[in-house]
Structure 1
Amino acid sequence: MFLSCLLMEELKRNPGLKEDIEKLYEAVPQLSKVFQITDKIGEGTFSSVYLATAQLISGNEEKFALKHLIPTSHPLRIAAELQCLTVAGGQDNVMGVKHCFRKNDHVVIIMPYLEHDDFLDILNSLSFEEVREYMFNLLKALKRIHSFGIVHRDVKPSNFLFNRQLKKYALVDFGLAQGTSDTKIELLKVVQSESQQRSCSQNKRHRMTGNRATVPPELAQQSVAKPAVRPWWSLSQIQIKPGKEEFSGLSAQRFVFGERNFNIKSPHSQQNVTVRLTKQTKVMDVESKKLLTKKKIVSSKTLNNGTARRGTTTVPSNLTCECYATDRVCSICLSRRQQVAPRAGTPGFRAPEVLTKCPNQTTAIDMWSAGIIFLSLLSGRYPFFKASDDLSALAQIMTIRGSKETIQAAKRFGKSILCSKEIPGQDLKTLCERLRGISCAEPTANELEQDSMHLTVSEENKKEDMLIPQTHEEQSLLQNCSLEHCHSDSKTEISMFTVNMKGWDRVPDEAYNLLDKLLDLNPVTRITAEESLLHPVFETMQL
């Protein structure tokens, strides 16, 4: 009775909630037999999360989190996420799964509910000891999933639930997870293989043969109006082992990775596919003609210089491009194979190797994200990085870690970075203490200087060039991240008293040493989750 009253009040405050709940019950009728949905507690691009209660056999009520995946989600992705939760979840602060309900292309994952605090609400009230425990438990969860060869790819505070009162933690949302080369999650291997095939298919579209552009055979076949063929890994064949509840394997009518749904059954669907693909082919033809024109000019130049023989049909790979460190792309670069690399994740938490499209990405990208969380906890500022695009994000990282260090690290994974001005790296301890109000020393003139800089990020062999537009040094970064210094003596005194009471005046150097290792620009030498848990800052904590 009390629960029903709460539900009625919530529905009055949020009229749209009732409609959303009714739609979910209609899409998956099995839910109404088991759960009473009371609230929507989360909503993202690929899913919505609801709070529900269920009557147990013992007579007690238990709360659950119901994750409703959008119908256009790739079926293989859904199955891979479920396998991550069932294999790696349920212990070491990794969220587990209770059940899975499916009706047609609607899938609802049932997980235990952990009532949690909002990260931004508690950030500046946490003591250093609480921060230390938070990081220890986050790294414990990362060690767990990394041991199974799972790369989470979206580690951030909202995906690491924290109940401050109960001291409980849970790493959630494996919708963007990928597998390492030796992953133990079988479906992640299939996802990775499928992604590689898609990348190869995209690269083929940029291949030039002889004096004319060739359209890939698979694209030419698709442009003919024929029924779409279901791939072998369609989830009508991938079954989730049923249990006592009424849920079964997943099946869907799509095979696109959360993008356009070309295979929805409708009278006009097949016609739309033909039109889209035909238009794409026409655009490709126009671009190919432009490229061929530029290519002929380049070929004639190289022939005159004696650097190419008559009859050469492709642009030599060892030619030096004409656009390096400029704001344009030359024909030589246009003729090269397009680089495709995973870049899933949340802006502000992406590692340097993700921002620069490094194809070989490992669990180290999760450790970088953990380092960004640690940086926010130590500085009391969230979000710390706030950039509109990947290149601006890379420039912001350079204002903290330094341009020279970034350039050296980039060379290790096949990239070169040009910077118009050398930017020194900052001392992480000094930065965090000043932002927390522990040290209110006035910043130097060099720190406050605002200079625009232009960066060109490219592969070391000059295959790809990207121009980073204008960005700023530390002062601009602090403004973008909503960073504030002490404004008055009285506020400073209160702030100092508060942090002293919570141990922020006694933060050990080991904490900043771990932060430095987590924010190592080189993914190869970046500290792992297992190594982090053995760091001296966690010496008194037990695994």
Structure 2
Amino acid sequence: MSVYLPEEALDLTLRSQPCKELERLEAEIRDMEESIEGLDQFQIVDKLGEGTFSSVYKAIDLNHHFYDNYAWTGKMSNLDQDRPSSKHVHVALKRIYVTSSPSRILNELDILEQLRDAEHISYLITAFRSEDQIVAVMPYSRHADFRDYYRIIPICDLKCYFRCLFRALRSAHAANIIHRDVKPANFLYDPKTGEGTLCDFGLAERFEPSDWRGKCHHTLPTPDFPHGRTEINRNVQSFHFNPGGALAVNSSVGRAKVDMGPPERVGYLKNDTRPGVRANRAGTRGFRAPEVLFKCQDQTPSLDIWSAGIILLAFLTKRFPLFNSNDDTEALLELATIFGKRRMEQCALLHNRTFLCNIPSIEQGGQRIVDFIVKLNPRLREAGSHPDPDGHKEDVEQALDLARACLHLDCTRRWTANQILNHPFLAEE
């Protein structure tokens, strides 16, 4: 999305910042202009964000009118170099740090190029390199800070938000691409227009069936089972096959269940001779799916669905961040306070892991995600002065059911992005 602003508004963002912050940003911009060749084509006006591997800036494309930009603006461009356009077009410049590996950088740029035609996904306009500096140029998407609207946005407007998000995920997953870092900061949404854009594919990876390790009790995804299905894997060693940890299958639905929980031996082995497990843990704390926390080596696009469900949870509970653990162990404990000990054991079993907990406050059976949401936000169902109380009540119940569809501990039971777009809460008439 291109944003056209009058000339007098160009430096408004910079001028509105505190003096010390402005001085720091100006010094940072000067350093970039001196060290990155090719940056003279742009005029940086603000810093949009900063992460572990990159920083993103808002800039004016000074040479925009020199080129035919119809492919990404949808508008015919003025190609007369003697009469440049009086309006300015903003772009987003992503400066990728040199600490990021070349393969990671190439992977991100390749994915952005592949998803060029996907809806609601920020794509690549161009990229250039100056020695060890890489800058990716993307359309600027006007958006609001999530913290400014997540408490006050009407529940009916959530439909626009999540239609955009799940359309983006549908396109990415159809291309066998897992975003891996779905969170509010990476989904640029403008409440005024109802438009949203999924960005930052720095942690994204391609799902390759040939890399399937087959170490868990869930199968490789297929067209009929896009997130795989639960199935006993007799080809792996598992103490769950032993007495006290038996694994059985309910033949009526073909899903694994625990007959008896693992033995109550809580703690760490002093001299643990078992080999360590290496699994992809990319993502942001509070948004990592259970299979990521359990270090499952066969992760599927369903982990993005979980992360999107956590965003929905923030809207419905009006709490953000909802989960804020220091490490994976605490994160699993946070989930156990909601879902209960038994369901966490079953989830661990699915990934050939063990969940042991002797904290008295952790309930055995847990609670439904719907009950958890209503407990945190007991006024959620109240219509108040809503002009259509019955319509509001229906929207709330459908949104609660959508949260349930996204936040299954069992990754094989989570709905796909395409199924979610047909959910009653998001389905368009």
Question: TM range, normalised to the smaller chain?
Answer: 0.7 to 0.9
Give yes or no for contact 1:155–1:369 (8 Å, CA) kept in 2: yes
The aligned counterpart of 1:357 is 295
Q: What aligned pairs does 1:27-38 form with structure 2 within 5 A after superposition? A: 27-32=35-40, 34-38=41-45
The aligned counterpart of 2:12 is 6
The aligned counterpart of 1:380 is 318
1:424 to 359, 362, 365: 365
Largest Rg, 1 or 2? 1
The aligned counterpart of 1:329 is 269
The aligned counterpart of 1:111 is 138
Change (3 A) 1:102 1:63: same
Deviation at 1:120, TM superposition (A): 1.2
> 1:390 and 2:328 equivalent?
yes
> 1:23 and 2:50 equivalent?
no
Deviation at 1:6, TM superposition (A): 3.4
> 1:436 and 2:372 equivalent?
no
TM-score normalised by the chain length of structure 1: 0.60
Tell me the alpha carbon deviations over residues 77-115 of structure 1, each in whole angstroms, 9 at most, x when there is no partner: 111101111111343111111110110110000000011
Give yes or no for contact 1:149–1:182 (8 Å, CA) kept in 2: no
Give yes or no for contact 1:438–1:505 (8 Å, CA) kept in 2: no
Please give the secondary structure, in 1, of the residue aligned with 2:285: coil
Deviation at 1:4, TM superposition (A): 6.0
Q: Structure 1 CA distance, aligned partners of 2:406 and 2:270? A: 38
Aligned-residue Cα RMSD (Å) equals 2.6
Deviation at 1:182, TM superposition (A): 4.5
Greater shift, 422-431 or 153-162, is seen at 422-431
Counterpart amino acid of 2:344?
A: T
Please give the secondary structure, in 2, of the residue aligned with 1:497: coil
Please give the secondary structure, in 1, of the residue aligned with 2:151: helix
Q: Structure 2 CA distance, aligned partners of 1:107 and 1:501? A: 52
TM-score normalised by the chain length of structure 2: 0.75
The aligned counterpart of 1:121 is 148
Counterpart amino acid of 1:424?
A: G
Please give the secondary structure, in 1, of the residue aligned with 2:189: strand
Please give the secondary structure, in 2, of the residue aligned with 1:537: coil
Deviation at 1:501, TM superposition (A): 7.5
Change (3 A) 1:329 1:23: same
The aligned counterpart of 1:528 is 416
Q: Structure 2 CA distance, aligned partners of 1:157 and 1:95? A: 15
Counterpart amino acid of 2:37?
A: P
Q: Structure 1 CA distance, aligned partners of 2:188 and 2:197? A: 5
Give yes or no for contact 2:317–2:377 (8 Å, CA) kept in 1: yes
The aligned counterpart of 1:136 is 163
Aligned length: 348
Please give the secondary structure, in 2, of the residue aligned with 1:524: helix
Change (3 A) 1:326 1:72: same
Q: What aligned pairs does 1:267-278 form with structure 2 within 5 A after superposition? A: none
Give yes or no for contact 1:399–1:423 (8 Å, CA) kept in 2: no
Q: Structure 1 CA distance, aligned partners of 2:374 and 2:32? A: 48
Deviation at 1:399, TM superposition (A): 1.6
Q: Structure 1 CA distance, aligned partners of 2:148 and 2:372? A: 22
Deviation at 1:531, TM superposition (A): 1.5
Q: Structure 1 CA distance, aligned partners of 2:129 and 2:406? A: 40
Q: Structure 1 CA distance, aligned partners of 2:11 and 2:410? A: 55
Q: Structure 2 CA distance, aligned partners of 1:94 and 1:397? A: 30
Give yes or no for contact 2:178–2:205 (8 Å, CA) kept in 1: yes
Once the two structures are aligned, what percentage of the paired residues are identical? 34
Q: Structure 1 CA distance, aligned partners of 2:345 and 2:386? A: 37
Q: Structure 2 CA distance, aligned partners of 1:324 and 1:20? A: 55
> 1:368 and 2:375 equivalent?
no
Change (3 A) 1:498 1:415: farther
Where does structure 2 lack aligned partners over 5 or more consecutive residues? 1-6, 66-77, 79-84, 214-262
> 1:413 and 2:351 equivalent?
yes
Deviation at 1:376, TM superposition (A): 1.1
Q: Structure 1 CA distance, aligned partners of 2:11 and 2:165? A: 37
Counterpart amino acid of 1:513?
A: D
Give yes or no for contact 1:124–1:380 (8 Å, CA) kept in 2: yes
Please give the secondary structure, in 1, of the residue aligned with 2:121: coil
